[in-house]
Structure formats: structure tokens, C-alpha cells
Amino acid sequence: MIGLIMFAVALLLLLLGFPVAFTFGGVAVFFGLLAEGPGIFALMPHRIWSIMNNTILMAIPLFIFMGIVLQKSNLAERLLESMGFLFGEIRGGIAISTILVGALLAASTGVVGASVVAMGVISLPVMLKYNYDKRLATGTICAAGTLGQIIPPSIILIILGDVFQEPVGDLFKAALWPGLSLVGFYIIYIVIIALIKKDKAPPIRLEQMTGSKSHQVFQALKAVVPPLVLIVLVLGSILTGVATPTESSSVGGVGAILLAAFYGRFSVRMVWESSLETVKITAMVFAILIGATAFSMVFTYTGGDYIVEDFMTSLPGEEWGFLILSMLAIMVLGFFIDFVEISYIVVPILVPIAAALGINPVWYAILIAMNLQTSFLTPPFGFSLFYLKGVAPPEVRTTDIYYGVMPFIILQMIVLAILVVFPQWFGFPPH
């Protein structure tokens, strides 16, 4: 019972705004000492040492570094400007190009916040200028920015690979088709809206844009081809088994620096600033991991995992009951707390139950990743909503953003439901 009480206390403190890592660590120490005394933490140094020795987790700072360097090389700006010209003449073309750029940024940077901010600064003013519906414009940008959660190389997939003890390369391979399906659903939705309600996504006439078509095509290729080469090198080496994710992430870091040099943005100062930001983000992730490790250890030792397992396995429908309840729980928690916290606190409780029910671990990990993606969009605490509001013009209200993301949340849930019911469509064995 103590395990469930400490879980509730930790959730309450997180909602009150206390730092995540210290909340998990502090609650673990308090309840651990209360329940078992100091001896419960005897093995804690060994657990921390195993985290430090984990080569899988080395990919996290390297992919973060790759993303930050590409962000500072103005990759998003180049892609948006070029793709906007190519698709602008089509009804809804700017919104479609935003989705495609979001997918490219996801596969090259994977930094959700940076992607949303970049597209909010560049794409949103253009869409508003040419009378796009504010809700459609803001929803498109938020949804495109969150694609970095599911399209490899995704930080969440690396974390889940560690939690599930499954090869990260397998998760990357498994996430590719669900991620691309999501991109397809977004584009189809925009096309339908543009056809039905023509005033919501008008085309941009050629004369309203600058430069010849051939020149802009060349500029577009110049903007798109180099990052595509980097994506192929990084993801291709992982998916074909040539290199591990950790090895490929180092290639990605070097490739990002070469791309920055190619675009004329390389400097020692830029590398230094990127390194500092990488250290800050990585330190935050690993501090949460250490705090969560202490929390899960105390939760397990006090018998909390048995209570949860007994409850989950006694649900009607067994596998289906567990899947539905666990997905709903993760979705609701995503309204309030970050995906990193959910991955390190909630998911380790669910993994052994899924294994006991005979659920494919790779498939279940992808379901969780797809579900966690919605946490960036769901009000009231969706991070993408705040990122966009921070850079949006004054005429764009918070309610516009909230209403704008709703159709895209529904689309995410539809793809998630298809993945649950028809896993064979995405290359997983059928139920």
C-alpha cells in the first residue's frame, strides 16, 4: 500500500511544480526510510553505476547535440522557405509543406521544442498573411513539431529501448511506418479541409512569391538533399545493422557539424554553445533517470508492483483490458506530466505485466511512444502549445491553439487504434 501512496504523493508534488528529479528522489528517500530503513538503499550505488555504464543511453546526448547543431544552422528556415515555394500554389500547400518539413526535422533533429518554435516563427506569419484559418495553421504547426516523438531517431525510443531492454534499432525500424502513416493522415486531413472549406487554406499565387521556379527548385534541393543524406547515413546504418544507435549518433553529430559548415554557419562559438545546451538537457534527463531509479526501487521493494500487477492481470479481457487501461492511463498522465517521467516511472511498472500477458514488447513500446506523442498536444499542459504561444502573434489566442490541435489529436488516436487492432498492417505479428 505504501507504494501506491508514494506514487500519489509524487504525482501531487509534480502537479504543484516541484522539480521532477528531486521529487522522485526525495519521495523515494522519505518512504524508503519510513518503510524499510536505510538498508533499502544499499544497492542504489550499483544501480547508478549501471546507468553510467549503459552504452545505449550514450546515444541520447549525441542525438541531442546533432539536433541542436542543425537547429543553429537554420535548417528549419531553409526547408520551410524552399518547401513553401514548391507547394504554395496548391490549396493548403503551405500547411502540407509544414507537415513535410516537420517530418524531415523529426528525422534529422528530433527536438520537438526547436521544431515548433522554428515553424511558428517562419511558417505561421506566412499562413496568417495569406488568410489561412488560425486554428488550422496553429494545429498544423504543433502536430508537425511533435513528429520527432515517433519518427526515428527519437529520444523517447532510446529511453523505451532501455526500459524494455530491447534493441533500439528494432524500435527505430518498428516506428518508421506508424510515423509515416501519421504524416499521411495529417496531409489527407489538410487536403480534405482545403477542398471542403476553401477559404481556410487558400493557395499562394506564383506572382506573390519571389524568384523563378527553376531557381527555387534548385534552392529547395540544396536545402533538402544534405539533411536527407545525413538521415540516410544515420538511420540507414541503424536499420541495416551496420552500426549501433550509439555509433550512428556519433556519425550524426559529426554530420551535423559538416552540414553547418556546408551552410556557412560553422564556428567554434556555435559548437561551444551547442555543447553547453546538450550538457544541460542531458543532465536533466539523467537526473530524472537517477531519481526515477530510486523511486522504482522503493516502489518495488514495498510491494507496489505486485498490487498493480494483480489488478491489471485480473481485468476482464486480459490482454485487451490491460492494453486499453494502460493506454488510457498513459494518455491521462500525459495531460499533466512529461514523457520522460512517464517513461521512467509508469512504464517500468507496466513492462513485466505486458510480458506476463505475452504481449510483443516492441509493438507495446511503439504503442506507448505513439501515445506519449499526444502529451505534447493535449491541453492544459501540452508543451507544444506553450512553445507556439510563446512565438505566435498577439492575434493568435490560446483558445485558437487549443481548438486547432483537437483534430490532430483525434488523428493520432485513430492511427494508434489502427496500430492496436491491425498490427500486421505495420509489420507486427497479428494478435
Question: For the segment 210-263, what is each residue's pLDDT rounded down to a tens digit?
Answer: 556 677 677 777 777 888 888 888 888 888 878 888 888 888 889 889 988 988
Residue 102 is predicted with a pLDDT of: 84
Our CA angle for 35, 290, 239, nearest 5°, is: 130
- Structural domain including 132 reads 2-426
Q: Which of 48-57, 250-259, 280-289, 313-322 holds the top average pLDDT?
A: 250-259
Is 61's pLDDT higher than 70? yes
Buried-exposed string 217-244: b where 16+ CB fall within 10 A, e elsewhere: eebbeebbebbeebbebbbebbbeeebb
Find cell 554553445 and name the residue: 273
Location of C-alpha cell 525500424: 173
Q: What is the mean pLDDT of residues 368-390?
A: 79
Contacting residues for 316 by C-beta, under 8 A, at least 6 apart: none
Closest among 189, 106, 107 to 146, alpha carbons compared? 106
Within a domain: 301: yes
Using DSSP, how many helices (H) and how many strands (E) does the chain show? Answer: 20, 0
Angle 72-250-166 from CA coordinates, rounded to 5°: 115
Say yes or no to pLDDT of 188 above 90: yes
Rg of the chain in Å (alpha carbons): 22
pLDDT (mean) for 3-11:
81
192: three-class secondary structure by DSSP = helix
Residue 393 lies in a domain: yes
pLDDT at 139: 92
Q: Packing angle between helix 168-196 and helix 134-145, nearest 10 degrees?
A: 170
* Contacting residues for 261 by C-beta, under 8 A, at least 6 apart: none
How high is the mean pLDDT of the chain? 82
pLDDT at 358 over 80: yes
Q: Give residue for cell 520522460.
A: 340
Task: Give whichever of 12-21, 83-92, 297-306, 422-431 has the largest mean pLDDT.
Answer: 422-431
| Number of other CB atoms surrounding residue 330 within 10 Å | 21
How many Cβ atoms sit within 10 Å of the Cβ of residue 256? 29
What integer is the mean pLDDT of 314-320? 75
Cβ atoms of 14 and 341 within 8 Å: the answer is yes
Q: What percent of the chain has pLDDT over 70?
A: 92
Please say whether the dihedral angle defined by the alpha carbons of residues 51, 53, 54 and 59, taken in this order, is positive or negative.
positive
Residue appearing with cell numbers 530510486: 294
CA angle 257, 159, 18 (to 5 degrees): 100
362, three cell numbers: 516492441
Residue 333 within a domain: yes
CA–CA distance, 365 with 162 (Å, rounded to integer): 11
Greatest mean pLDDT range, 80-84, 323-327, 343-347: 323-327
In angstroms, rounded to a whole number, what is the distance separating the alpha carbons of residues 314 and 310? 6
CB atoms within 10 A of CB 66: 30
Task: For residue 171, name the pLDDT band (cuts at 50, 70, 90).
Answer: very high
Block residue for cell numbers 491489471: 312
Provide the number of structural domains found in the chain.
1
137 contacts 99 by C-beta, under 8 angstroms? no
- Confidence at residue 414, expressed as pLDDT on a 0 to 100 scale: 93
> In whole angstroms, how far apart are CA 383 and each of 15, 312, 401?
15, 30, 12
- What is the average per-residue pLDDT within 343-354? 86
Phi, psi of 337, deg, nearest 5: -125, 165
The H or E element that residue 32 is part of is helix 20-35
Contacts of 84 (CB under 8 A, 6+ apart): 93, 94, 97, 123, 126, 204
> Which of 2-6, 178-182, 369-373, 401-405 is predicted least confidently?
2-6
373 domain-assigned: yes
| pLDDT tens, residue by residue, 87-115 | 767 788 888 888 988 888 887 766 676 67
Q: What is the pLDDT of residue 200?
A: 85
Q: Which three cell numbers stand for residue 50?
A: 549501471
Q: Residue 120 is placed in which grid cell?
A: 511558428
Cis before 380 (ω within 30):
yes
Model confidence at 38: pLDDT above 60 = yes
Q: Say if CB 138 and CB 401 are below 8 A apart.
A: yes
Q: 385 with 402: CB under 8 angstroms?
A: yes
Question: For residues 37 and 167, what is the distance between their CA atoms, to the nearest angstrom?
Answer: 37
Structural domain includes residue 431: no
Count the Cβ atoms, other than its own, within 10 Å of residue 353.
18
End-to-end CA distance of the chain: 34
- pLDDT grade for 381, boundaries at 50, 70 and 90: low
* pLDDT, position 250: 87
Higher local confidence (pLDDT), 308 or 244: 244
pLDDT level of residue 183 (50, 70, 90 thresholds): very high
pTM for the structure as a whole: 0.81
